[in-house]
Amino acid sequence: MKEVFDEQLKSKYMKKYQIEKIFDTPDLKFQVIKYEAGEFMSSKRSPLKYLKFIVKGTWDIYSMDKEGKTHLLKHADAFTIMGDVEFFSGIETGNLQKACEEVISIELSMDKYKHMLLQDNAFLRFLCRSMTQKLINTTNDMMMHDRLEEQLIQYMRYECEDGYLTCIEEAAFRLNHSRRQLHRVLKKLTENHVICKESRGCYRLL
């Protein structure tokens, strides 16, 4: 993670996503932060102290269970804000955000501006819209994930010889899902002992 002192770059993304129009509060001081591939943008050890407007790059969102194991929740690649839940609640979500490639974020200090932003009606309306959309997306993702689990089990049971899945690309094509989505479901089903991994790219239905 490093701060980038490039006013032209900041202005480019501020204008592209009209970030200043999100706020009624004047004279807010934003900073540009770059995260390298593989770097955590937030974690339990590094709580969010900034509102982060992600303007470039892709990242993965993980949850962590009581045993310390991480579970991939979602792959993200669109303009979004991080820190909205923490801004309202003051409580960390516990999710981990990990950059898949270089990520650029326009950031605003919560410690410095929170008391002002709580009176900023334009910003509060934006946060309500943002959090509502995240809730809708999460619900849709969960429904799709559950359907894919059932589809994959049925595929392995009835279309794979002896319940062995040996070609992930073919399964992804037949089920009309991406390899990334399929890998995520295979990992979950393996952890839940519904299937077992026999070798690289080969799974068996239990």
Residue 64's CATH number: 2.60.120.10
pLDDT of residue 28: 96
d(CA 109, CA 181): 35
Q: Are residues 115 and 161 in the same domain?
A: no
Same-domain status, 11 and 97: yes
The first and second tokens of residue 112, run together, are 């410095």
pLDDT given for residue 56 in this prediction: 96
| Angstrom distance (rounded) from CA 82 to CA 106 | 10
SS3 state at 180:
helix
Query: Would you place residue 174 in the very low, low, confident or very high pLDDT band (cuts 50, 70, 90)?
Result: confident
- So what's the pLDDT on residue 47? 59
Concatenating the DSSP letter of every residue in 7-43 gives HHHHHHHHHHTTGGGG-SS-S---EEEEE-TT-EEEB
Domain termination residue (choose one: 119, 135, 158): 119
Q: Confidence class of residue 141 from pLDDT cuts 50, 70 and 90?
A: low
Burial of 81 (0-12, 13-18, 19+ CB in 10 A): buried
- pLDDT tens digits for 93-129? 678 888 999 999 999 999 999 999 999 999 999 999 9
Torsion angle in degrees (nearest 10) through CA of 194, 198, 204, 206 = -40
Instruction: Answer yes or no: do 92 and 38 share one domain.
Output: yes
* Same-domain pairing of 92 and 170: no
User: pLDDT tens-digit profile of 20-73?
Assistant: 999 999 999 999 999 999 998 876 555 578 999 999 999 988 877 777 777 777
b/e sequence 30-68, b meaning 16+ C-beta within 10 Å = bebbbbeeeebbbbeeeebebbbbbbbbebbbbeeeeee
Tell whether 127 is covered by a domain.
no
pTM of the model: 0.70
Tell me, yes or no, whether 44 and 111 share the same domain.
yes
In which domain, by residue range, is 177 found? 148-205
State whether 79 and 18 are in the same domain. yes
User: How many C-beta atoms lie closer than 10 Å to residue 155's C-beta?
Assistant: 17
**CA 34 – CA 46 distance, rounded (Å):** 16
Do 114 and 153 belong to one domain? no
Looking at the fold, whether 9 and 105 belong to one and the same domain comes out as: yes
Same domain, 99 and 8: yes
Stretch 172-186: mean pLDDT, rounded? 83
Q: Which two tokens stand for residue 171?
A: 């399964």
